[in-house]
Amino acid sequence: MATEARLPRRHSEGGTRQEILDAAARVFRRLGYARTTIADLAGEAAVSRPTIYAYFGSKHEVFRALAQRVGQEFLALQERADVSTPEKTLRTTLVAYLDTYVRHLGVLTVIAHQALSDPEMRRLRAEIHDRPNRRHTRFIERLVAQGVADPAVPPAVVSEVITGVVMRFAEEAAASPERRHELGEQLIVAHRRLTGMPGGMGKSRPREEETADAVR
């Protein structure tokens, strides 16, 4: 039995671990953190409880791994951004940021709720938001240095404001999916106004090192 329990850890980035996290996202979204049990996670993933424990030491470890996966997805938006112009960087990353937030809204809502009373959950929430916000801030600072942005407030404040807008718009888009495109366009306009960016920026191509940090 001990040998069987150790085997999955050698493939901890493989299918079963990811399937457990996929199942965990559904269960935590449906039941919340406090009501979820290892038995619930095992049942949703169609595996035994020992299999869950082969990958994770506790429910908390499952939730932490799920939150970290969500955080990494937000960071990965940068790698998929079109950085040929500031305008395209802005558009592709903001739209992707909104879509990703909508997709993970359930888990993010559970994290936010638990963060009200659990210091560890507050740290998890900060991990998800702080690094993308810092990258966003650097993006705006580079636009200022290029002379194509004149923020109404400091770049770090713009980042925080946009994150707040995305959180609210994600709720709206989840409730009314037909509004997703409209909300994405409003998000882009709001960002332009806050940063003082002109509407058409297609002719300005920043140097490669200046576009390394995308909006998200």
pLDDT at 56 over 80: yes
Where does the pLDDT of residue 6 fall: very low under 50, low under 70, confident under 90, or very high at 90 and above?
very low
More confident residue, 72 or 77: 72
Helix-helix angle 86-103:59-80, to 10 degrees: 160
Topology of the domain comprising 66-210: Tetracycline Repressor; domain 2 (1.10.357)
Classify each residue of 194-209 as buried b or exposed e, where b means 16 or more C-beta atoms within 10 Å of its C-beta: bbebeeebeeeebeee
- Token pair recorded at residue 129: 């938001």
**Residue-level pLDDT at 162:** 95
Q: What residues have CB less than 8 Å from 175, skipping those under 6 apart?
A: none
pLDDT tens string 73-130: 988 887 777 777 888 888 899 999 999 999 999 999 999 998 999 898 898 899 888 9
Cβ partners under 8 Å of residue 94, min gap 6: 162, 166, 184, 187, 188, 191, 215, 216
pTM for the whole structure = 0.79
Taking only the tens place, the pLDDT of each residue in 180-206 is 999 999 999 999 999 998 864 444 344
pLDDT by residue (tens digit) across 27-40?
999 999 999 999 99
In this prediction, residue 208 carries a pLDDT of: 42
The mean pLDDT value of the chain amounts to 85
Per-residue pLDDT at 12: 42
What residue spans define the domains of the chain?
Answer: 1-57, 66-210
Please tell me if the domain spanning 1-57 has the same topology as the one spanning 66-210: no
Give me the pLDDT at residue 29, please.
95
**Separation CA 35–CA 201 (nearest Å):** 50
The predicted structure's pLDDT at residue 33: 94
Asked whether the predicted pLDDT for residue 214 surpasses 80, the reply is no
Top-confidence residue, 202 or 55? 55
- Can you give the pLDDT at residue 90? 87
Please calculate the CA angle 102-22-42 and round it to the nearest 5 degrees.
Answer: 140
The whole-number average pLDDT for the span 153-168 is: 95
DSSP character for 214? -
User: 81 versus 213: which is more confidently predicted?
Assistant: 81
**Residue 213 dihedral angles phi and psi, to the nearest 5°:** -105, 110
Q: Is the dihedral of CA 147, 141, 102, 46 positive or negative?
A: positive
Architecture of domain 1-57: Orthogonal Bundle (1.10)
